Amino acid sequence: MTNRLRVHPPQHESVDGAVQALVSERFASRLFAEDGTLWGPEAESEASIRLSWVTLHESSRALVPDIVALRDELASRGITRVVLCGMGGSSLAPEVICAAAGVPLDVLDSSQPDMVRSAVHDLESTVVVVSSKSGGTVETDSQRRIFEQAFTDAGLDPTGHIVVVTDPGSPLDEEATSAGYRVFRADPHVGGRYSALTAFGLVPSGLAGADIGALLDQAGELVPSLDDDTADNDGLVLGAALGVAAREGVDKVVLFDHDGHGLGDWIEQLVAESTGKDATGILPVVAQSASDPTTADEFVVHLGTDEVPDAPWAAAVKGSLGGQFLIWEVATAVAGRLLSIDPFDQPDVESAKAAARELLGGDASLPDPDHAGEVADIYGSSAQSIEDAIAELLGRVGEREYVALQFYLDRWALKGLESLAPELAGRLSRPVTFGWGPRFLHSTGQYHKGGTPVGVFLQVTCDPVEDLPVPGRDFTLGQFIVSQAAGDAQVLRDKGRPVLRLHLHDVEAGLRAIKDSLA
C-alpha cells in the first residue's frame, strides 16, 4: 500500500515556514542519524539514548525468525490463545497490529479484579506474554503472579505458558531468566511509546499470528522519504502542522480511524505523553465516528483515508500500518521541537505511581468520601447526589477547558461507555476524552498532569463483583485500583485541577445516573 499524507490547508503560511526552517537545519537527516541535540541542551542527555526507533525496521529483523519459531512450537503443543499482560507502550501497538491483521489477542491492561479474573481461562491452550519495559510495572507484575498461580493450580508448568518481554537487566529480566522463562529483550534505547517495532510490539503480535516481517518492511519502505531534507517530507509536514497549530491555540488533535483498528489509541499515547509537559502540549481526542462534534481549538485528523475532513485545521493520513507508526513518531518528534519540549521524557508519570504506592503501603490514608451513599460515595464535591455532583463539575467547564472521563471499570464487560465522550462534547461544545483506568495512566496521564492546565476530571471507580488477591503480595487488586485512582486524583488536585470521583457500590444504578447526567 502506498503511504500518503495530505495536510490542509496546504499553503498555510506559518506551516510552510516551519517546514522550510526544518529543511534548512536538516532536521530529518539529523533525526535519522540519531542526533540528540535537536531538542536543545536540556533534552540532549535523554534524547541521545532514545532515538534507536529510527532504525528498528532493520535492527528488529533478527527477532522475526525466533518469534515465528516459538509460535510454531506453541501451536504444536496446542497453545494458540495469546494473552498480553502489559500497560501503555507494552500493549497499545500489539492491540492495533493484531486488529489490523485480524488475529485474536487478549490485551489485559488493567488491575480491575473482574476483568483480570475473566482472562484466566482455557489455560492449557494459553500463552501469556508478560511485557514490561521497566520490569517493575505493578499491574503487570500482579497479573503475572495471578497467572503463575493459576497455571500451577491447574497442574501446568508456568515456564511453558509464560513468555517475558522486557529491557535487558531489568528486575523482570533477572527474575524470569532465573526461573527458566523464555525472555525476549528489547532495545533499551527506545522509549515505551516509540516501541511499536521493538520486541514489545512484535513478540505478542507475532505469537498471535500477525505478519511482523511485513510490518518492518512497511516501515523500511518509508524511511527514504522520511529522512529526506525536503519540503514534501510527510513526517515534517504533519509534525509542523501539529506544532504550529498548537502554538496558535489549536492544541487538541481529534483522531478518527476509518479502518477501525484502534490506531488512534496508539497515537493518543505517543502524542500525549511526548508533548504534554511544561504546561503545554497537544491533547489527543480519539473520535468514535467521523461525525463526532469538534471545536475551534481542535485539529481534525482522519486515519486510513486520503479525504481531508472539512475543518479549519485538518489532515488525512493513509498508508500501511508500519508506515503510519513511523510517520507519527517522526511527526511527534518534530512537534516537540516546535513546542520547545523534550518529546522523550515523561516527568509527571511517576508522580501518580508514587501517590498510589503511598496509599497502598499505608504511608498515606485513603480519603474519606464527602458524601457516602448506597449507590455511590462522592469525593471532591459537597453535593449529595451523583446528578448534582456532576452538574457542579461541569459548571467548571469554560471556553478553554476540556473534560476527561476516566472509568476504572471492566472495559471488556462495559465496552460502549466510550460513546459518553462525543455525547457530552456535543452538549458542552468542548473537547471530551475518554480513558479506561488504569490504562490511560500510561497514556494520557502525563498530559493531564503536565500539559495545558485546563482539564476537568470525572473519575469512576467501583466495588468489584469479587476482589482478587495478588499471590505473594499483601494487597488485592481491588485495593490497588482504588489506590491508583485516588493517588492520581490527589496529584491532579495538587496541580489545581478539578476532580470528582464517584465510587459505585451499585454499578448498574450508578452508571445509569452518570449517563443521564452527562447526556
Residue 364 is predicted with a pLDDT of 76
Taken in order 24, 281, 270, 518, the sign of the CA dihedral is negative
Pair type for strands 126-132 and 162-166: parallel
The per-residue pLDDT for range 397-428, each reduced to its tens digit, is 999 999 999 999 999 999 999 999 999 999 99
Cα separation of the two ends of the chain? 41
Question: With pLDDT > 90 as the criterion, what percentage of the chain qualifies?
Answer: 92
Provide the phi-psi class of 501: left if phi over 0, else alpha when psi is between -120 and 50, else beta.
Answer: beta
Q: Per-residue pLDDT tens, the chain, 519 aa: give them.
A: 445 556 555 557 899 999 999 999 999 999 999 999 999 999 999 999 999 999 999 999 999 999 999 999 999 999 999 999 999 999 999 999 999 999 999 999 999 999 999 999 999 999 999 999 999 999 999 999 999 999 999 999 999 999 999 999 999 999 999 999 999 999 999 999 999 999 999 999 999 999 999 999 999 999 999 999 999 999 999 999 999 999 999 999 999 999 999 999 999 999 999 999 999 999 999 999 999 999 999 999 999 998 889 898 999 999 999 999 999 999 999 999 999 999 999 988 888 888 888 888 887 788 999 999 999 999 999 999 999 999 999 999 999 999 999 999 999 999 999 999 999 999 999 999 999 999 999 999 999 999 999 999 999 999 999 999 999 999 999 999 999 999 999 999 999 999 999 999 999 999 999 999 999
Pair type for strands 298-303 and 371-372: unpaired
CA distance 491 to 487: 6
Residue type, 235: G
Beta bridge partners of 184: 165
Q: Exposure of 390 by Cβ count < 10 A (0-12 exposed, 13-18 middle, 19+ buried)? A: buried
Q: How many CB atoms lie within 10 A of CB 156?
A: 14
Taken in order 250, 515, 497, 381, the sign of the CA dihedral is positive
To which residue does cell 498510589 refer? 356
Cβ atoms of 94 and 107 within 8 Å: the answer is: yes
Taken in order 191, 192, 195, 198, the sign of the CA dihedral is positive
Phi, psi values for residue 296, rounded to 5°: -70, -20
Host H or E run for residue 317:
strand 314-318
Residue 191 is predicted with a pLDDT of 95
Domains of the chain with bracketed CATH: 4-12+232-338 (3.40.50.10490), 56-215 (3.40.50.10490), 349-518 (3.40.50.10490)
Q: Exposure of 188 by Cβ count < 10 A (0-12 exposed, 13-18 middle, 19+ buried)? A: middle
Cβ atoms of 306 and 243 within 8 Å: the answer is: no
Pair type for strands 252-257 and 298-303: parallel
CA distance 304 to 257: 6
Helix (H, G, I), strand (E, B) or coil at 348: coil
Cβ atoms of 227 and 273 within 8 Å: the answer is: no
* CB neighbour list of residue 258: distance below 8 Å, 6 or more residues apart: 290, 302, 303, 304, 305
As given in the structure block, the three cell numbers for residue 130 are 508478560
Beta bridge partners of 403: 432, 456
Residue 1 is predicted with a pLDDT of 43
As given in the structure block, the three cell numbers for residue 493 are 488536585
CA distance 147 to 268: 29
Phi, psi values for residue 34, rounded to 5°: 60, 50
Helix, strand, coil share of the chain (percent; to 5): 50, 15, 35
Of the candidates 314, 272, 273, the one whose C-alpha atom is nearest the C-alpha of residue 294 is: 314
Cβ atoms of 429 and 293 within 8 Å: the answer is: yes
Residue type, 120: V
The per-residue pLDDT for range 330-368, each reduced to its tens digit, is 999 999 999 999 999 998 888 888 888 888 888 778 899
Helix (H, G, I), strand (E, B) or coil at 496: coil
Cβ atoms of 463 and 476 within 8 Å: the answer is: no
CA distance 388 to 390: 5
Residue 103 is predicted with a pLDDT of 98
Cβ atoms of 97 and 206 within 8 Å: the answer is: no
Of the candidates 284, 300, 333, the one whose C-alpha atom is nearest the C-alpha of residue 446 is: 284
